[in-house]
Amino acid sequence: MTIALDRRIEVRRLTTQSDLDAIRDEWRQLDVRCPDLTPFSTWEWCSTVAEFYGGDRPFWVLTLRRDGELIGVAPFAEVRSMGLRVLQFIGSGLRRYPISDYQDLLVAPEYEDEALCALCDDLRGRSGWDMLYLQELPPTSKTPEKLMEPLCGCSWLPVLQYGSDVHFLPIEGDWDSYKATLSRTTRNDTGRLIRKLIAEKEASLICIDGDVGAVDAAMNSLFDLHTQRWQSKGLPGIFRTEQRREFDREVARRFARRGMLVLWLLNAGDRTIAAKYGFVRDGVQYHYAVGYNVDPEWSRFRLGAVMDMQIIRNAFDDGLRGVDFMRGEGHYKDHYRMKTALNREMLVFRSRRVWLHYRLARFARAAAAEAYRAMKRRRTAPAVEEQDR
């Protein structure tokens, strides 16, 4: 199949935060038209990541317009990696492991073929980049297949590989039918613990969604409980810096204003003992971060499992399409009969020379890392031997 280039599609590069803010309303109108798009491709998420983690990364947010109407957004930013100029999703944040569980291009469905062809044609005419790195494309994304033909037409080298595992629970049938599919231990233990929490601790589960005024206090509870949970395992957790906390506060505020925030609080009297933070879009709840009290007084109640079961039950009661637990292995997710799939990553090299440079740099980096690990083993070996004695 040959795709004709629609010359009425105009591609423009946005380079500043004010440029992103200026298209906020149009971006929102576009994302509503895109089926299966996740909250991580919304203006609320991408603009906030750019504001807090943009730093000195040049923005490459490409907008596609047809007869003046916004029909596509490629939300890229430039990073330097291994001597290459790499365009990656702006929602990736700072680290190689992105802070976004899913990322994708936004394209109005009726213009997908023409828009992606126009995007590739525009990138072919722009200097200043060597490689596209599209991380965490969700399993439902059509981008890899739709991009393949126009990419090959540019004589570039696309490489498609698997990324993180993700976990999705489709909401089908009714609560009783779903509950019957769970193990007897899962059903009975969580039910007993819920009843015990209510009777002994006056527990209640509330959801903060559109109440912007209540967001900051609830997020602070989440931060403290999440950090406590991970520190009990000897790890810092994701909310260890004030920059990260303020980023998520702002994300929560923006999603609350749009009616896309879900922030669950499990309270015992007037005390919050567990919290779960996420988003909702198009009938799907996305669970992003959780925290709960790990003190012995509360650990016996398995607060994480209790919250999950109550939230899933509410999803059935509210007629949602699904609950997405997203990335992470988390053996506890197996208890809920979730479907596991894999995100994908698409690497696009502008030339064979760039591809070879990338391969050699990866090899050199891996060799250096192995040499460093070997050196550490040699340095610690005598101490270990002495300890064994």
- Domains of the chain, by residue range, sit at 9-164+343-369, 172-320
CATH fold match for the domains 9-164+343-369 and 172-320 = yes
Per-residue confidence (pLDDT) for residue 378, from 0 to 100: 77
Q: What is the DSSP string of 54-76?
A: -TTPPEEEEEEEETTEEEEEEEE
Per-residue confidence (pLDDT) for residue 97, from 0 to 100: 62
CATH code reported for the domain at 172-320: 3.40.630.30
Question: Cα separation of 87 and 60, whole Å?
Answer: 8
Q: Helices marked H in 93-214 — which ranges?
A: 112-124, 143-153, 175-180, 184-201
Per-residue confidence (pLDDT) for residue 95, from 0 to 100: 56
For residue 363, with 0-12 CB atoms within 10 Å meaning exposed, 13-18 middle and 19 or more buried, which class applies?
exposed
In which residue ranges of the chain is pLDDT below 70? Answer: 1-7, 93-97, 329-331, 380-389
CATH 3.40.630.30 is the classification of domain 9-164+343-369:
yes
- Are 70 and 19 in contact, with CB atoms under 8 Å apart? no
pLDDT digits over 148-200, tens only?
A: 888 877 889 999 999 899 999 999 999 999 999 988 888 888 888 888 888 88
Q: Residue 270: how many CB atoms within 10 A of its CB? A: 6
Per-residue confidence (pLDDT) for residue 385, from 0 to 100: 38
Model pTM greater than 0.75?
A: yes
Q: What is the DSSP string of 12-38?
A: EEE-SHHHHHHTHHHHHHHHHHSTT--
Task: Give residue 337's region: left, alpha or beta (phi > 0; psi -120 to 50).
Answer: left
Distances in Å between the alpha carbon of 26 and those of 68, 77, 258? 11, 20, 14
Per-residue confidence (pLDDT) for residue 362, from 0 to 100: 86
